[in-house]
Amino acid sequence: MEEILDQKKIRIEKLEKLKGLGLNPYPYKFVRTHIIKEIREKEEEMVGANSVAIAGRIMAKRGHGKTVFADIKDESGKLQIYFRKDTLDKKLFEIVDLIDIGDFIGAQGEIFKTGTGELTLLVKGFEFLSKSVFPLPEKWHGLKDKEIRYRKRYLDLIMNKDVREMVVMRAKIIKKMREILDSKGFIEVETPTLQPLYGGAFAQPFKTYYNALERDYFLRISDELYLKRLIIGGIEKVYEICKDFRNEGIDKTHIPEFTMLEAYEAYADYADMMDLTEEIVTGITKALFGSLKFNFQGNEIDVSRPWKRLGFYEGIESLTGENLSEVTRGKAYTFARDHGIDIDENAGKGKILDEIFDEMVQPKLIQPTFVIDYPLEISPLAKKHRKNPELVERFEPVIAGIEIGNAFSELNDPFDQRERFEQQKSMKEMGEGEIQELDEDFLKAMEYGMPPTGGLGIGVDRLVMLLTDIPSIREVIVFPQLKSKE
């Protein structure tokens, strides 16, 4: 650290020299004629072009005396630039020594190729655009410490090309998601982030106090109940891409602040939502790769339609040899503990079965699979299965062992919905931690009439993980939250 502070001191001295020469190291603007990618894509016709102006960050500098080479990088790429004493004004060449790695400069000159064939800008004029007073990480070792990378994401973006590519890919994924939904007639809406009553998922909320309204509010754990209100109000296809907040733990696929897509369509059911899920994932995959295949952590994933359908209980039995559809809560609990699954002693049977599936079945589902027809107990917002009232019409899409979403034939019977909410309340009184709160206003809205509806949620961060071949959710969130250093 002492060495870095010494370097900072030297850079500040250079900054003062620039100011002493009457130069502004932090000007307002610089007009570029080209970005670097354009020069490289039109390489042959650019050679010999004069009055080319580029700008970017200096990433390397070499040479001394009458000639100095440097590498300049903008968002689109990197280019070598060449300072020659006999080309530049004498006073301008003298300040080349004041350029450090990390500085932003704007340079004008002529494009040529060196004897080794490297495309280069012969600098005929340049100016400082931002003097870097703190040195970048040493380039040969890069920036690999995860703690530093997450806390100083700006350095991570400067030093690690794959992180910059992830940010661009994430933007493309969300853009294509919107294009697909918009093309199918869905309307994008915004619902409250701060809610007087949280709901729409099993999760612990973040709580805050709303001064102007003099009451507690919650950061949303889902926007489901608000989007359903819009369906009730007559907007037949709605979606929202937004941040949700769940006050829970962090692991490779979970983080308390994350991005979700939720979409709802009137007169549809969960089979229609399977079709929509396939359309979204195949459409994005094709747009990114020109193919319906991609690699994730050594597995080639093929998202070609139709995806496999696997019943919830069928999946458990096929991989454990046990039919758990009619066992008691106690037997389910014993089975889980015997197989090393840590279960809350207050968990209900449905929650226990869900944990068994997550631990023993889901990791083995590599190719895209719809896990369908879940237990009624853990799906209070889903319609009972039309063939088996002990189940609900619900599915979770799983790819490479990762659950990327959740979808229902949405419950639209207000009396059944009230009964489900009451059951959840009883479960809470028995010690179950994560339940659906009873929402009287939502029930009142349902009493005005809600059409048959299909609903879909997709975890955007998890989908980005898969499509960028990144195994950790914190890597695909640009600024993940971290524990305080203290």
3 state SS of 234: coil
CA distance 231 to 454: 10
Find out whether the peptide bond into 306 is cis, omega within 30 degrees of 0: yes
CA distance 412 to 443: 10
323 backbone dihedrals φ, ψ, rounded to 5°: -90, 105
Q: Which residues pair with 217 in a beta bridge?
A: 208
What parts of the chain have a pLDDT lower than 70?
1, 139-143, 427-436, 486
* 8 Å CB contact between 236 and 196: no
Cα four-point dihedral sign 139, 144, 145, 146: positive
Yes or no: is domain 2-136 CATH 3.10.129.10?
no
Specify the CATH number of the domain 158-307+367-476: 3.30.930.10
CA distance 387 to 472: 39
Q: What is the pLDDT of residues 418-455, one digit of tens each?
A: 998 888 777 666 655 566 678 899 999 999 999 999 99
- Predicted confidence at residue 62, as pLDDT, reads 94
- Predicted confidence at residue 428, as pLDDT, reads 64
Q: Closest Cα partner for 83 from 115, 108, 59?
A: 108
- CA 475: distance to chain centroid? 8
- Predicted confidence at residue 432, as pLDDT, reads 56
Cα four-point dihedral sign 267, 271, 273, 276: negative
Tell me the CA distances in angstroms from 441 to 194, 199, 414, 446, 452, one per residue in order. Answer: 16, 12, 11, 9, 19
CA distance 398 to 394: 13
- CA 56: distance to chain centroid? 27
Cα four-point dihedral sign 346, 351, 353, 356: negative
* Extended strands (E) in 220-292: 237-245, 257-266
Task: Please report the DSSP string for 66-118 in residue order.
Answer: TEEEEEEEETTEEEEEEEETTTS-HHHHHGGGG--TT-EEEEEEEEEE-TT--
3 state SS of 459: strand
- Predicted confidence at residue 1, as pLDDT, reads 64
- Predicted confidence at residue 140, as pLDDT, reads 45
- Predicted confidence at residue 158, as pLDDT, reads 92
Helix ranges (DSSP H) in 153-256: 153-159, 161-183, 224-232
Domain edges within the chain: 2-136, 158-307+367-476
What is the pTM (predicted TM-score) of this model?
A: 0.91
CA distance 154 to 141: 17
